[in-house]
Structure 1
């Protein structure tokens, strides 16, 4: 169990990561400089650098913490829920949050996309695996008969379905819940049947 000093350091790291993401969402990557992030967190840039070498590290830390929360939800979900149902439930929860909540689905999507733009291709690939590995592992424990490859496909498709709803739901649509259900129903029941229905 972490001692008080370690907990304080972890809380400070989280505070800096949240400040970084709040700025990223509010003013974009250009405005979310280390200096601006430190100012928003009420510390010097030197103090910020005691915790993160680069601002991208703060964005990555933020996503790691969100994935850790998803891992907890996977582990605590009722036994009868399939991995896809658990993912649907997680997305429904974060999609229902207000856009001014830094942990809202739209904001998580912005952070993920910005990390993709700010990092090199090589770094992007290793960071994505590093961030998502705990979630893959949690789903694997929940569905031990599934191969590692299938677990990755299920998780990746669930994430893609959630992102697709955020990007493509019609303008003025009330909320994403119906679209999330439609996207996850499509994943759950397969696309072949839907393609057949669409061409009949």
Structure 2
């Protein structure tokens, strides 16, 4: 009898979470480079083959935790209010993210999130993989801003994603250095406003307003 699809999906989600959680525990205890994929598979009680089915690279075991937010900018643009310029919507969303201490803004000092920030910032291969991973978000944003292949949309998306990543990295580094999210918040807001002002000078309301 074929299992119910929803049950299959929940099983996949549990396996995915078990592997990811086991990997993060080992990485935080022993360091990213000191832990092997075989050790992670054993800790998660899955085969090495199963692990790679869910996570194509060792770096993805950490970077996957950012996956839910990769297309955030594109979603904001697509879901913005009628008559609102894309950049205005993106500014408001990023500011709300700071106020709500969303991990994607780099301004979340929950212990488990802070540990993940620290791991990424201290591991060059993870930093590089995350940058590569974010490229898909840039492509999605370009598609939300303009027609396929549009140069202005591609350039704007590249600038916006770069700015958001720069702001997030700066916030992460300050929190990892020991500052609290509350201490960093007013500075993070000021830096975000300045960054979006600069983007507005170059992009403004160039793109279609729904």
Range into which the TM-score falls when normalised by the shorter chain: 0.5 to 0.7
Contact 2:138 2:157 in 1 (8 A): no
Residue by residue, what CA displacement relative to the aligned partner does 1:54-104 show, whole Å, maximum 9, x if unpaired? 422323433334425x36963686524521332343354225544423xx2
Higher relative contact order (CA 8 A, sep 6+): 2
Identify unmatched segments of 5+ residues in structure 1.
Answer: 192-200
Question: Residues 1-200 of structure 1 correspond to what in structure 2 (within 5 A)?
Answer: 3-4=5-6, 5-43=8-46, 45=48, 47-52=50-55, 54-67=57-70, 70=72, 74=76, 79=81, 80=84, 81-91=88-98, 92-94=101-103, 95=106, 97-101=108-112, 104=113, 107-108=116-117, 110-111=119-120, 114=123, 116-117=124-125, 124=129, 128-134=131-137, 136-138=139-141, 140-141=143-144, 143-144=145-146, 147-168=153-174, 171-172=178-179, 174-190=182-198
Cα RMSD after superposing both structures? 4.0
TM-score when scaled to structure 1?
0.64
**CA distance 1:131–1:159, change in 2 (3 Å):** closer
Unaligned 5+ segments in structure 2 are: 200-210
TM-score, L = length of structure 2: 0.62
